[in-house]
Structure 1
Amino acid sequence: MESGLKGKVVFITGAAEGIGRATAVAFAKEGATVGLLDINESQLREVATEISSTGGKAITVKADLMTGEGVKSGLEQLLDSTGGIVDVLVNNVGSGAIRTFEQLSDDDWDKTFQLNFMSYVRATRHLLPILRERKGCIVNNGSDLARQPEPVPIDYSASKAAVLALTKGLARAEGANVRVNAVAPGPIWTPFWTKPGGFAETMGKHYNMEPQAAVEHEMKLRQLPLARLGTPEEVANVIVFLASDLASFVTSAVWGVDGGSIRAI
């Protein structure tokens, strides 16, 4: 089946590692030009090298997506490189740590929402006029925790619930002009989990266990039917599908890529 993505221009936030990186590689394999934003410049270059080595085209821009100016400047630099063209926006950037409600300060809540939610709002607002003209689409990266929250991380869950609300509202507002969908990954084995200070390390502190043991304990508590963490590529495949012509009648959808963690109908 033809995806219809060849020759399209795709912008991806948080593209240096994990799901963002896998998504960039997947779109490039479909023949799309990918514009990549992240604060980690060296890892962005690694992604671009990987893509160019297989004949793909990647444009990278270092950007602090925590701030409005960072989002705007990064997107403007990408647009300058693509002649003002963008067909697909993948709002992917995000971060989180395992902290209880009592441990979270106002500043913690603000930082979580600035990156995990407001970056999506700002990127969408900036690119929406172009996406309307080109009958483009948006794919937002949510989380299974947006639909089935756990006690921790409560700030992360709330920010991702806001992402799903944004997805639904925008899909209705934009109608046939711009398709807007979301993926809702479950636990995916990425640097989001494995990096210093990431989910695995902070989960270990929360449960007073070694990081790997804490992750295994958490998966048992969640009773995942597939009984494992997912891979970034498994999420990227769904993101590419939602942006493709194969999903031309799909909008306002939230696609779980979660190993069966969501029990609701």
Structure 2
Amino acid sequence: METGLAGKTVLITGAANGIGRATALAFAKEGAHVAMLDHDAMKLAETAELVRGFGVNAFAVEADLGTASGVQAGLDAILAQLPEGIDVLVNNVGKGDPKPFLEITDEQWERTFELNLMSMVRVTRHLLPVLRRKGKGAIVNNASDLGRQPEAVPSDYAAMKAAMLALTKSLARAEGPHLRVNAVAPGPIWSTFWSRPGGFADGLASIHNMPPRQAVDHEMKLRQLPLERLGEPEEVANVIVFLASDLASYVTSSVWGVDGGSIRSI
């Protein structure tokens, strides 16, 4: 089946690692040009080279999307390289720390808010006029299964992802019929989000008093995940590409779980 993405330009936030990198490569395989923002300049450059290996253009700008000034500077720099604008926006950037509620300080609540929710708000607000000029386009927001079915930790991250899902629905109503807005809600995905020093795996290791990967497997058993494994970044990227493509031309205001069956509700 044809995705209709060849020759289109996609902008992805948080593209240096994990789901962001896998998404950049998945779009490149479909013949789309890829613009990328991330704070990790070295990993971002690596992703850009991998994207170019598919014979498409890659545009990469280092940016701190956890601040208003960082978003503005990053978008100004990337849009200067894209005179034709963009066709697809993927709001992917995000980070969470699995701390119990009583250990989450006001400062951490604010950091989680700025990076996970306000980055999406600011990037989308800035790029909506650009997308509207095309007359047709798509936004895909990377949320989380925790935004639909919160666990005990991390409550701050879950709250921001729930807000992201609500905003996805609002934007879909406001921007139809020409701009489709959808979200993916990944479950546990083995990426740098989990494996980085101080990430989810280390946090769960502290909570469960086990080595990191053993603690992750234990957590999956506690959640009674039907597929009994973590997902891979590519498995989320495939769904993001579908939602952005012509194959999903009648899909908007939807939340697609890529979660190994973690969500039990109908």
* TM-score, normalised relative to structure 2: 0.98
**Alpha-carbon displacement from aligned partner over 1:136-187 (angstroms, at most 9, x marks no partner):** 1100000000000000011110010011011001101111121000000000
Task: Name the counterpart of 1:198.
Answer: 199
Q: Is the 8 A contact 2:31 2:54 kept in 1?
A: no
Matches within 5 A, 1:211-226: 211-226=212-227
Give the equivalent residue in structure 1 for 2:161. Answer: 160
> How far off is 1:6 after superposition?
0.7
Contact 2:202 2:212 in 1 (8 A): yes
**1:73-112 superposed matches below 5 A:** 73-112=73-112
Report if aligned partners of 2:8, 2:33 keep a CA contact under 8 Å in 1.
yes
The aligned counterpart of 2:125 is: 125
Quote the Cα distance in structure 2 between the aligned partners of 1:78 and 1:212. Answer: 37
2:185 is equivalent to residue 187 of structure 1: no
SS in 2 for 1:150: coil
Alpha-carbon distance in structure 1 between the residues aligned to 2:219 and 2:56: 38
Structure 2 distance, partners of 1:246, 1:158, is: 31
Q: How does 1:1-265 map to 2 (within 5 A)?
A: 1-134=1-134, 135-265=136-266
The 3-state SS of whatever aligns with 2:252 is coil
Provide the TM-score with structure 1 as the length reference. 0.98
Query: Structure 2 regions of 5+ residues with no counterpart?
Result: none
Q: 1:75 and 1:241 mapped to 2: Cα distance?
A: 25
Structure 1 stretches of 4+ moved >4 Å: none
Separation (CA, whole Å) in 1 of partners of 2:92 and 2:173: 21
SS at match of 1:82: coil
> Could you list the per-position Cα deviations for residues 24-71 of structure 1 after superposition, in whole angstroms to 9, with x for gaps in the alignment?
000011111100000000001101111212322210000000011111
Q: Quick check: 217-226 or 128-137, which moved more? A: 128-137
Instruction: Give identity over the alignment, percent.
Output: 65
- Per-residue CA distance 1:88-117 (angstroms, 9 max, x = gap): 000000001110110011110000010000
The one-character-per-residue Cα deviations of 1:185-236 (angstroms, maximum 9, x if unpaired) are 0000001000000000011111222111210110001111111100000000
| 1:84 Cα offset (Å) | 4.7
Specify every segment of 5 or more residues in structure 1 that has no aligned partner in the other structure, as ranges.
none
Aligned counterparts of 2:180 and 2:35: Cα–Cα separation in 1: 20
Q: Matched residues in 1 for 2:60 and 2:230: separation?
A: 29
Opposite residue 230 of structure 1, the aligned amino acid is G
* C-alpha distance in structure 2 between counterparts of 1:11 and 1:53, whole Å: 18
Secondary structure, aligned partner of 1:56: coil
Q: Aligned letter for 1:245?
A: D
The alignment partner of 1:102 has SS state of helix
